């Protein structure tokens, strides 16, 4: 069930030149310069508007962008694609060169996708994603469905919609979103009282910062069925792999979106996707994925069974360092010297072993260099060593950390059995806010148990709020650790994933004993911030050029 957008005939005429359809939640963007597409997707992540609405309201009539001039020259949205498709199909199919599928790509919008589906869409490493953020909009504004009824922003999985729990699902979800609405708006008032505006902050920056803090705190109530808009840019090869994984999914929503995506992508890069629904190619590949998953599910249940989850201890259980390289410094010294030397790695390892600690630290310090900001990261020599963590954090934090796709990351199903996290601000904001929070979490846990019995563990994930914990493991090399830990501990970061990343940093330094590596991550920020987002909002306000768009 999707909300249908309403456009005038004139708007449809404009949109048809730049979007592959004007009425479905999946569509491709065409006939626009890449820089404009990028700007649109960047803006997309911070607004309640759909991409087509955003295009009409904020891009089409901007004279400095020049889209109207482009529109005047575009008579057919698919003009010129035919010859290009034939060329790619000749190389791709007749010569069998899969790498050709890396040379063409497409921008695709996937709207009204559940938070569960977005994790499926974002699993691939070699694509770019921008997802609507829970930080910038209130999720209590309703959408109008095909039947004309207005509903909160959540998906009803086809499995539940056709089953005995449909009515209860709607009623419970509506109560959850009503609680979210009360909590997020009460928190906005609470933060404005607890953290009054200073003389240096502009009213707009302060308003955005307090709203972001309220949304960050309240997001734990949002269920995994919450809908999101997701922009994707990927190559034909990336989309092919994604669609075959989606076709193997046990979730009807994923399989349904896969079919819509294939239809739209074939309007712009058809030659790259010719194998997806071929019986002995893509269909067989998806069958392989599905078969392995089914067998592993059965094996895991037989071998491990299901036990009651132990009581959660934040210090003990949230982040564990499972594995690391005990010879990290020696290996990094050899890897750092390698591109600047003509010696074999074996010889360099022998030389690094002979060095004393001071010499090794000198090499590593020189290799790290004088970093002026967190974007100045040392070279690939830092990829020579690794760290493996087991994490049990709230689902909201997982959603943010999972986006670091260059790591090796895998996760279990979302469940209510590991309990949920409650931000301290929930208790501080007052009895009514705290009561709503815990009552909603309890009710959703009960619904989860019943959906689990009727529809199984995969479908039951939809009803679990973001505040509940999910278990996942992360393996990353030291260079990736520089990137993630420095970025995610920044002052504008969410307090929950900041805590997770600070624990990782401490474990690298103290448990693994890699102090020289940990100390080189000098932009890991352990300070506690109040309105963490305020500084970045002020920076935006103080820029010399005027803001082209105002956040809605």
Where does residue 8 rank: exposed (0-12), middle (13-18), buried (19+ CB within 10 A)? exposed
Q: What is the pLDDT of residue 68?
A: 60
In three-state secondary structure terms, 465 is strand
Phi, psi dihedrals of residue 404, rounded to the nearest 5°: -80, 75
Q: Is the pLDDT of residue 313 over 90?
A: no
Residue 197 has pLDDT above 90, yes or no: no
CB atoms within 10 A of CB 20: 23
What secondary structure does DSSP assign to 383-434, as a single string? GGSEEEEEEEEEHHHHHHHTT-TTSEEEEPPP-STT-B---HHHHHT-HHHH
Please report which residue ranges of 48-165 form alpha helices under DSSP H. 51-54, 67-73, 81-89, 115-121, 158-161
3-state SS track over 134-160: CCCCCCCCCEECCCCCEECCECCCHHH
pLDDT number for residue 548: 40
| Three-state secondary-structure class, residue 48 | coil
Non-local (6+) Cβ contacts of 488 within 8 A are 400, 401, 497, 498, 500, 501
The 10s digit of each residue's pLDDT in 258-271 is: 999 999 998 888 77
Taking the alpha carbons of 472, 475, 479, 480 in that order, is the dihedral positive or negative? negative
Q: Is the pLDDT of residue 533 over 80?
A: no
How far is 107 from 44, CA to CA, in rounded Å? Answer: 13
Non-local (6+) Cβ contacts of 72 within 8 A are: none
The CA distance from 91 to 174, in Å, is: 52
In this prediction, residue 247 has a pLDDT band, given cuts at 50, 70 and 90, of very high
Other Cβ atoms within 10 Å of 161 Cβ, number: 14
Q: Which structure tokens are listed for 458?
A: 């995969």
- Per-residue pLDDT band at 550 (split at 50, 70, 90): very low
pLDDT at 543: 46
pLDDT of residue 302: 84
The per-residue pLDDT for 531 is 62
Provide the pLDDT confidence category of residue 81 given band limits of 50, 70 and 90: very low
Q: Is the separation of the CB atoms in 195 and 94 below 8 Å?
A: no
The pLDDT of residue 267 is 86
What are the tokens at 70? 């482009």
Residue 133 · residue 41 · CB < 8 Å:
no
For residue 201, how many other CB atoms are within 10 A of its CB?
A: 18
Confidence of residue 96 (pLDDT cuts 50, 70, 90): low
pLDDT level of residue 67 (50, 70, 90 thresholds)? low
Per-residue pLDDT averaged across 312-318, rounded?
88
| pLDDT tens profile 100-116 | 667 678 899 999 999 99
pLDDT band at 383 (very low <50, low <70, confident <90, very high): very high
The token duo for 360 is 């090794």
The residue that leads in pLDDT, 13 or 82, is: 13
Kindly state the percentage of the chain with pLDDT values over 70.
Answer: 87
Mean pLDDT computed over every residue of the chain? 87
pLDDT at 46: 77
Angle at 105 (CA atoms; ends 284, 245), nearest 5 degrees: 25
**Structural domains in the chain plus CATH codes:** 9-134+227-297 (3.30.1360), 154-225+429-463 (no CATH), 314-413+469-521 (3.30.1360.170)
pLDDT of residue 272: 78
Strands 469-477 and 386-394: antiparallel
Alpha helix locations (H) across 195-313? 203-218, 236-247, 252-265, 284-304
Encoded tokens for 431: 């009895």
Q: What is the dihedral of CA 115, 123, 161, 460, to 10 degrees?
A: -80
Rounded mean pLDDT, 207-236: 93
Average pLDDT over residues 522-539: 71
DSSP β-ladder status, 319-324 and 227-235: unpaired
**Per-residue pLDDT, 491:** 87
Can you tell me whether residue 128 is helix, strand or coil?
strand
pLDDT at 549: 40
User: What pLDDT is recorded for position 72?
Assistant: 57
Lowest mean pLDDT across 75-89, 168-182, 449-463: 75-89
């Amino acid at each position: 069930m999707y909300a249908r957008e309403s456009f005038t005939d004139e708007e449809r005429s404009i949109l048809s030149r730049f979007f592959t359809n004007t009425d479905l939640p999946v569509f491709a963007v065409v006939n626009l310069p890449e820089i404009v597409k990028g700007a649109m997707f960047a803006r997309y992540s911070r607004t309640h508007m759909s991409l087509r609405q955003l295009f009409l309201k904020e891009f089409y009539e901007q004279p400095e962008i020049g889209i109207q001039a482009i529109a005047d020259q575009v008579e057919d949205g698919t003009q010129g694609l035919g010859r290009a498709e034939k060329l790619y199909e000749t190389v791709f199919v007749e010569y069998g060169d899969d790498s050709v599928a890396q040379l063409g790509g497409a921008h695709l919008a996937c709207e009204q996708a559940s938070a569960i589906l977005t994790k499926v869409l974002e699993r691939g490493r070699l694509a770019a994603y921008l997802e609507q953020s829970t930080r910038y909009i209130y999720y209590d504004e309703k959408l109008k469905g095909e039947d004309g009824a207005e509903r909160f922003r959540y998906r009803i999985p086809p499995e539940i919609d056709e089953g005995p729990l449909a009515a209860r699902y709607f009623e419970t979800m509506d109560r959850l979103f009503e609680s979210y609405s009360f909590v997020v708006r009460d928190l906005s008032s609470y933060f404005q009282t607890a953290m009054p505006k200073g003389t240096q902050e502009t009213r707009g920056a302060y308003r955005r910062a307090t709203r972001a803090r309220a949304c960050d705190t309240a997001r734990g109530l949002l269920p995994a069925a919450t809908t999101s808009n997701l922009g994707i840019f990927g190559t034909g090869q990336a989309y092919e792999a994604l669609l075959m994984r989606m076709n193997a999914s046990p979730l009807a929503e994923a399989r349904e979106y896969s079919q819509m995506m294939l239809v739209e992508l074939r309007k712009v890069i058809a030659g790259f996707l010719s194998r997806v629904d071929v019986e002995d190619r893509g269909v067989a590949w998806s069958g392989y994925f599905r078969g392995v998953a089914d067998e592993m599910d059965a094996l895991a249940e037989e071998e491990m069974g299901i036990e009651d989850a132990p009581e959660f201890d934040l210090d003990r259980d949230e982040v564990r360092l499972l594995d690391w390289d005990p010879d990290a410094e020696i290996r990094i010294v050899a890897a750092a010297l390698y591109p600047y030397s003509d010696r074999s790695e074996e010889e360099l390892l022998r030389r690094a072993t002979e060095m004393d600690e001071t010499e090794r630290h000198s090499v590593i310090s020189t290799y790290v260099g004088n970093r002026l900001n967190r974007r100045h990261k040392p070279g690939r020599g830092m990829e020579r060593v690794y760290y493996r963590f087991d994490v049990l954090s709230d689902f909201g934090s997982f959603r943010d950390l999972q986006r670091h796709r260059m790591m090796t990351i895998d996760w279990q199903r979302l469940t209510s059995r590991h309990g949920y996290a409650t931000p301290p601000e929930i208790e501080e904001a007052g009895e009514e806010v705290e009561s709503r929070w815990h009552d909603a979490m309890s009710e959703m846990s009960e619904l989860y148990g019943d959906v689990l019995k009727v529809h199984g563990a995969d479908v039951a994930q939809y009803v679990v709020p973001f505040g509940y914990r999910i278990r996942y493991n992360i393996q990353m090399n030291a260079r990736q650790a520089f990137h993630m830990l420095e970025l995610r501990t920044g002052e504008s970061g969410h307090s929950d994933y900041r805590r997770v990343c600070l624990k990782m940093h401490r474990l690298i330094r103290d448990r693994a004993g890699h102090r020289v590596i940990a100390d080189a991550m000098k932009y890991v920020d352990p300070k506690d911030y109040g309105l963490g987002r305020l500084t970045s909002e002020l920076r935006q306000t103080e820029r010399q050029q005027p803001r082209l768009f105002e956040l809605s």
